[in-house]
Chain A
Amino acid sequence: MALIRLEPRGQASQAMLYLTPVLAVVLTLAAGFLLFAALGFDPVAALYAFFIEPLTTTRGLGELAVKATPLVLCAVGLAIGFRANVWNIGAEGQFTLGAIAGGGVALAFYGEGGWWLLPLMVVAGAAGGMAWAAIPAFLRTRFNASEILTSLMLTYVALLLLSLLVNGPYRDPDGYSFPESRLFEEAAVMPILIEGTRVHLGSLFALLAVAGGWVLMARTFVGFQIKVIGLTPMAAGYAGFDQKRIIWLTLLLSGGLAGLAGLCEVAGPIGQIMPSISPGYGFTAIIVAFLGRLHPVGILLAGLLMALSFIGGEAAQIGLGLPKAITGVFQGMLLFFLLATDVLIRYRLRFGTKGPVVKGVAAKGVAA
């Protein structure tokens, strides 16, 4: 007779849906505490250096916003698609195309820029991401090809295209043949929002995307259609919802936001086009989307947390000489604990052997 049993809930617990991410963070911190102790570091000092110290200065907070911006922009779009069972895994490629298209505008008008240049780059960036996402949308709606595969594979095409461009047409003519574009002129760089930090206009776009994503999902008929299609495609079919339209819409939306994120990186903190513009934001955004429970506000928080885990890793290595691999370990633990605690959404814990439930059901719950 087990002392703790899992008992299926009739309905998924709303409270647990929001509590499990918090629980996962707490468990991660606890495991981190043990890990640091086992590595021979003072766990309190290490956790402080990792999670608190980066947030004690204005610059640190600014860096958090800078790092979270592309993650949130990509994740908000992806989550909307995921709600409709449209699995865009290729945000990294759409991000890259946004940088290529928007950054290309900056280079094309180099030296002739005016107030109009940055808005044009933003439009081009979003359009670039949309165009790249349109390919999986077309293949899915026309040939029923899985967008998971096509969008993922297009990522590698995008990265090679970027590499081709920075080694060719985009290359800085005065740059000793190094594969980098020239630095963008003043008119092509995102304005800084907070003096003394690197927080740029892109962070504002990310907040707008969060708000827009929430309005779309919670307050519009399209959002309702997306949710219905995701939950019960059959019912959506009977209701006459156009699934193809939703596939196009969600892919273009997530591609556009990823493209915008890419443009914001090259026109923001990087200021030029390089062979490597993203350390995998498009993929990390998938984790952020799920960590944030596919909810725009949750995504904002998850994006900040994920950004902190990157920045904290560096800060801890500079301050205490902790190995950088700790960052990956923390991100992995966070996901692991989130998935592990997710069982609480559908099952409730029962202590002791007594209980009103039929034992067979409880046993089945454990087995499942």
Chain B
Amino acid sequence: MDRRTFGKTALGLAGAAAVTLGMGAGTALAQQKMKVGFVYVGPVSDFGWSYQHDQGRLAVEKALGDKVTTTFVENVPEGADAERVIDQLASTGHKMIFTTSFGYMNPTLKVAQRHPNVMFEHATGYKRSKNLATYAARFYEGRTVIGLIAGKMTKKNVIGYIGSVPIPEVVSGINAFTLALREVNPQAEVRVVWVNSWYDPGKEADAAKALIDQGVDIIVQHTDSAAPVQTAQERGIYVFGQASDMTRFGPKAHLTAIVDDWTFYYVDRVKAALDGTWKPIDTWGGIKSGMVGLAPYNTAIPGDVVAMAEKAKADIMAGTRHSFTGPIKDQSGKVMIPAGKHATDEQILKMDWFVEGVVGKLPK
């Protein structure tokens, strides 16, 4: 609420004429402070993807509040609007701008070319330039851990998976989950429903209901709202949350969640920008770097299953377990990753096929 009080004191006293003065004073005050902007695709209150990015922003304020001020814009549609918002941030004195959704890639690149002195960071994309860095998380590592848990917790051996859009990040998540699931439970299979949206509580709840009616007893989501968690709670089945700890939306149903933790990354990058050591690099962090974590385990998970999950986490960190270790077959039985090898980053980044055990086809 600091921002609000600031707004009140700096801008509050006078009328429209004084507004410009007030803003001038604000800039003078913040002369030493670097302005950092964040663009979110959902509302900060989604308690999922955008919420976690906002937690990262708050961490930056907390750690570097004496050197930076932050701004965010939420609910920015991917399309013609994104470029306007990003440009608006760049032309209102923001020296560093994080754009946190894939669909912002081309708009961010366009604005970055127009503002060569501003540092841009785009999440989950693949285009970089001399002032545009990219970053993403190896969410699939988390999917491996929850896949193991699901394999032990399912009774009916059918898992429902709510997919957002069929991009490699989501497909590799489904595959990593399914591989781990069948590692501990070879009979289990995964049913995928696409909702074609990252945040649509209505559609997500409908997808959850449809899956439950088909007889799944655990739901996994790769969408950002807590609606599937709430639905699972109502219908008395288990669910894994996405992006942040969603326990509060379904305390009984919520087994754990894959938590995206951007705090370290954002603080590091803003520090680098302040030091002048910032470079337009690509970062792809996983469990080891702390970018991907797991929410506290539900007490319904037996101790040995928790121990197994923790061991898998430790192995991933130590580099002794890889989510895509061969032999891996696709749905038709063709060997995609031979025995003794694991998928390269390139293969994961371009993944557009399902592993054996996934029911349903990828839109082509």
Seen from chain A, the residues whose Cβ lies within 8 Å of a Cβ on chain B are 40-42, 44-45, 48-49, 52, 59, 63, 66-67, 160, 163-164, 167-168, 176-180, 183, 198, 265, 268-272, 274-279, 310-311, 314-315, 317-321, 323-325
Whether A44 contacts B106 in the complex (CB less than 8 A), given A198-B83, A279-B77, comes out as: no
CB-CB contacts of B124-139 with A at 8 A, as 1s and 0s?
Answer: 0010000000000000
Residues of A within 8 A of B363 (CB): 163-164, 167-168
Are B4 and A321 closer than 8 Å at their CB atoms? yes
Residues of B within 8 A of A44 (CB): 14-16, 19
Closest A residue to B92 by CB, please name it. A318
* Among candidates A167, A265, A274, residue contacting B103 with C-beta atoms closer than 8 Å: A274
Whether A276 contacts B350 in the complex (CB less than 8 A), given A40-B4, A59-B87, A320-B7, comes out as: no
Closest B residue to A60 by CB, please name it. B88
Within 8 A of A (CB), among B43-93: 43, 71-81, 83-85, 87-89, 91-92
Residues of A within 8 A of B336 (CB): none
Are A48 and B106 closer than 8 Å at their CB atoms? no
Are A317 and B11 closer than 8 Å at their CB atoms? no
Are B352 and A177 closer than 8 Å at their CB atoms? yes
Give the shortest distance, in Å, between B364 (CB) and chain A (any CB).
5
8 A-B pairs with C-beta separation under 8 A: A49-B19, A67-B80, A167-B364, A176-B349, A268-B80, A278-B79, A318-B73, A319-B92
**How many residues in B have their beta carbons less than 8 Å from beta carbons of A?**
50
Residues of A within 8 A of B19 (CB): 44-45, 48-49
Cα–Cα distance between A218 and B88 once the two chains are bound (Å): 41
- Taking A59-B91, A324-B74 as given, write out 12 further A-B residue pairs in contact, using a Cβ cutoff of 8 Å, ordered by the A residue number: A67-B80, A164-B363, A176-B350, A178-B168, A268-B80, A271-B106, A274-B79, A274-B103, A318-B37, A318-B73, A318-B85, A318-B89
* Among candidates A41, A167, A276, residue contacting B78 with C-beta atoms closer than 8 Å: A276
Cα–Cα distance between A272 and B12 once the two chains are bound (Å): 43
Residues of B within 8 A of A67 (CB): 80-81, 84
Whether A41 contacts B8 in the complex (CB less than 8 A), given A275-B165, A324-B74, comes out as: yes
Cα–Cα distance between A44 and B126 once the two chains are bound (Å): 43
Residues of B within 8 A of A317 (CB): 71-74
Are B85 and A314 closer than 8 Å at their CB atoms? yes
Closest A residue to B351 by CB, please name it. A177
Q: Is B3 an interface residue (CB 8 A)?
A: yes
CB-CB contacts of B240-264 with A at 8 A, as 1s and 0s?
Answer: 0000000000000000000000000
Whether A42 contacts B80 in the complex (CB less than 8 A), given A164-B363, A271-B106, A318-B73, comes out as: no
Question: Which residue among B3, B72, B75, B352 has the maximum number of chain A CB atoms within 10 Å of its CB?
Answer: B75
Closest B residue to A56 by CB, please name it. B20
Closest B residue to A63 by CB, please name it. B84
Q: Is B22 an interface residue (CB 8 A)?
A: yes
Whether A176 contacts B126 in the complex (CB less than 8 A), given A45-B19, A321-B71, comes out as: yes
Residues of B within 8 A of A319 (CB): 23, 92
Q: Is B167 an interface residue (CB 8 A)?
A: yes
Cα–Cα distance between A317 and B74 once the two chains are bound (Å): 8
Give the shortest distance, in Å, between B41 (CB) and chain A (any CB).
10
Question: Which residue among B43, B80, B89, B171 has the maximum number of chain A CB atoms within 10 Å of its CB?
Answer: B80
Whether A176 contacts B11 in the complex (CB less than 8 A), given A45-B22, A167-B364, A198-B83, comes out as: no
Whether A41 contacts B74 in the complex (CB less than 8 A), given A272-B106, A276-B79, A278-B79, comes out as: no
Give the shortest distance, in Å, between A306 (CB) and chain B (any CB).
14
Cα–Cα distance between A254 and B184 once the two chains are bound (Å): 58
Residues of A within 8 A of B73 (CB): 314, 317-318, 324
Residues of A within 8 A of B23 (CB): 319
Cα–Cα distance between A272 and B13 once the two chains are bound (Å): 46
Q: Is B196 an interface residue (CB 8 A)?
A: yes
Whether A66 contacts B7 in the complex (CB less than 8 A), given A168-B364, A278-B79, A279-B79, comes out as: no
Whether A163 contacts B11 in the complex (CB less than 8 A), given A176-B126, A318-B92, comes out as: no
Within 8 A of A (CB), among B116-161: 126
Q: Is B280 an interface residue (CB 8 A)?
A: no
Residues of B within 8 A of A279 (CB): 77, 79, 81
Whether A42 contacts B85 in the complex (CB less than 8 A), given A48-B16, A179-B167, comes out as: no
Q: Is B265 an interface residue (CB 8 A)?
A: no
Give the shortest distance, in Å, between A35 (CB) and chain B (any CB).
14
Cα–Cα distance between A325 and B75 once the two chains are bound (Å): 9
Cα–Cα distance between A42 and B363 once the two chains are bound (Å): 50
Closest A residue to B168 by CB, please name it. A177
Within 8 A of A (CB), among B174-232: 196
Are A178 and B81 closer than 8 Å at their CB atoms? no
Closest A residue to B80 by CB, please name it. A269
